Amino acid sequence: MDVELWVRIVKEGIRKKRLNPWDVNIGEVAEYYINKIKELKKFDIRLGADLVLVGAILLRMKSESLYNSFEDKKEEKKRKRRKKISEEELIENVKKELKKIKKNNKRKKKKMEEKSYIVEELVNEMLEEDDVDELINFLLSLIKNEKIIIFQEKFKNRDEKIKYFLPALCLANDNLIEIQQEEMFKELILKLKEGKDGLF
C-alpha cells in the first residue's frame, strides 16, 4: 500500500541520514524522500498518487521551515524555543494533511480521480533523465527573470502543469526556489531563493 510505503521511506530517510528521531530535520527528510521516488521510478516501480502527494507535503513543510529561518534576528530566541517535531509527529502530521486533501475532495470524486491520473502521468513523463534537466533549467531561468511565478497562471493547460510540476519540486528540494501554498491544490507561488542564480 502507498501509505505503508511512504511511511517506510520517511523512517528509512531519518535512519540513513542519522537524524535525531526526537527533533527531525524536515528538509533532510524531504530531500531523501524525493530522491527515493526518483530511484523507485528508475526501477519501473509504479507510484500511486499518495506517494507523490507526500513528497509535495514534505516540500511544503520544508519551505515553511526555511522561511522561518529567515526571520529577523530579534526572533532568534523565539525560534530556539520552537516545539521540536519527532519522527512519529512528522508522520502523523503528513497523515493529517493527506486526510484533509481527501476530505476536501470527497464530493469531487471525478476531479480527484483526474488529479490521481495526472500525478501518475506526471511521474511517468517527467522522471526521464534526458528531459528533466532541460526543464529544470528552463523553469529556473523563468523564475530568475520574473522573480515570482504563480504556477497555475503561468502554466494554464493540463500538459504544461504536468510538464513543470516535478521540476518545481526538484528546484525546491535543491533549495534554489521557495514554494509557497496557503492550502493544498490552491495557488502555488514559486520564488527564487536569495543568492540562488545559477543553473544546473
The domain total for the chain is 1
Say if 197 falls within a structural domain.
no
Say if 92 falls within a structural domain.
yes
Which pairing describes strands 177-180 and 148-150: parallel, antiparallel, or unpaired? unpaired
Say if 199 falls within a structural domain.
no
Taking 50 as the pLDDT cut, the residues of the chain under it are 1-3, 70-74, 77-81, 112-118, 126-130, 199-200
pLDDT attached to residue 56: 81
Beta partners for 179?
190
Residue with the three cell numbers 522573480: 147
Say if 120 falls within a structural domain.
yes
Say if 111 falls within a structural domain.
yes
Say if 60 falls within a structural domain.
yes
For residue 20, report the phi and psi dihedrals to the nearest 5 degrees.
-70, 115
Q: With 0.85 as the threshold, say if the pTM is over it.
A: no
How far apart, in whole angstroms, are the C-alpha atoms of residue 55 and residue 51? 7
Using alpha carbons, list the distances in angstroms from residue 86 to 26, 66, 119: 10, 18, 29
Q: Which three cell numbers stand for residue 3?
A: 501509505
pLDDT, the chain, mean:
73
Domain, as residue range, for 27:
2-192
